Each structure stands twice: as C-alpha cells, then as structure tokens.
Homo-oligomer: A and B are copies of this chain.
C-alpha cells in the first residue's frame, strides 16, 4: 500500500498527491466528455462517476461545470499574463502585447501539457467558442484579464490607469482583435498553431488601416 512513487511534484505528502490526481482526473474526464457529447448534454454526475467519486466531491474541486470547462484556458491566460510582464521595459505597449501572444502560442503548450494533453485543450477551446454559456463565461473572464493587463501596461509606462485612458484603450483594442482571430480560427478548418499565428499577425496589421478615414482608396 506504500507507493513510494515520486513522479510529479518534488515531495508532497501522499494526501496532496492524491488530491492532485483526483483533480486532474476530474478535469480530464470532464473535458473528454464535454468535447465528445457536448457541454450541456454532460451531467456532473457523469463526470463524477467516470472518476468514481461522489458528485459532492466534484464540487469540492471545481466551483461548477463552467470552471472545469475553462480551466485550461485559465492556465493559458496566466501564461500570457506572465509573458507580458517579462517583456523588456523599452518595448512600446502594443509591441509588448503583440510579442507576448505570438510567443505565447509556442510556450503555452508546455504549460498546458503538464495538466492535460494539448490536443484536448484545443478541442476545449473550440467547445467554448461554440457553446453560448461557455463563451459568455469566457468573455467575462477575458474582460477581467484585460483589466489586469491594462494595469501592468500602465505600470510599465509609469501611468495611473484611472487617470490616463490609454492603457485600457490599447488593451481593449488588442483584446478585440484577439477575440476576432480566436473565433475565426475556431470556425475555420485549420486548427494548427501556425494558423492562429498567421491570423493574429494579419489582423493586428489591419488595426491601422481599419482606423483610417477612408477605406476606398485602392
């Protein structure tokens, strides 16, 4: 009964490791069920049963169905936020954001993979985009993330978010473009990383032109 296994985290007690395993099992089972039979058609009981714990236990690990479904997104978002923080101080705000995402598309994989197969995370994203309830929750979280990023940007530039509108505006513009590309990517046929990278750069390059006075000059 004494599994001297160490494997994952350095040295946590058996209890801790057990919890970790349960959490991951629930997460994986949930995403698997959601992406195969659909979010609404999957009940919490099913998820709990798949992991062989009580429904009550599920709710001790996750606040609700939504939270599980958006969990890996949270990992990716945290990764992105870090990437923004680690950008060199002399870079211009928009450049920071641009590079943080593009770099993110590569490194996020590792961060996610430690919890769930990357492919499952991708499927989960498409699920979110195509499930109204999840998209709503996702957008709300994105709004919160934008506020945080705006504060980071403001700090970089030595500004007060409440006094100078530019940080929030810049982030909002950027976030808006990201929403578009995310949606198009999930709706499109090519769900590869390079595909989203190209879409992102292409659309970011259109911000200037889109704000131009006259569009009909070609």
Contact = CB atoms under 8 A, between A and B. Distances in A.
A203 B210 CA distance: 18
Main SS of chain A's interface residues?
helix
Interface stretch (A36-44, A76-84, A111-119, A164-172): A164-172
Contact of A143 (B177, B179, B210, B214): B179
A161 B169 CA distance: 24
A207 interface: yes
A137 interface: yes
Contacts of A206: 165-166, 169
Interface of A: 92-94, 132, 135-137, 139-140, 143, 157-159, 165-170, 172-173, 175-177, 179-180, 202-203, 206-211, 213-216
How many copies of this chain does the complex contain? Answer: 2
A209 B157 contact: no
A163 B161 CA distance: 36
B207 A169 contact: yes
Contacts of A180: 165, 168-169, 172
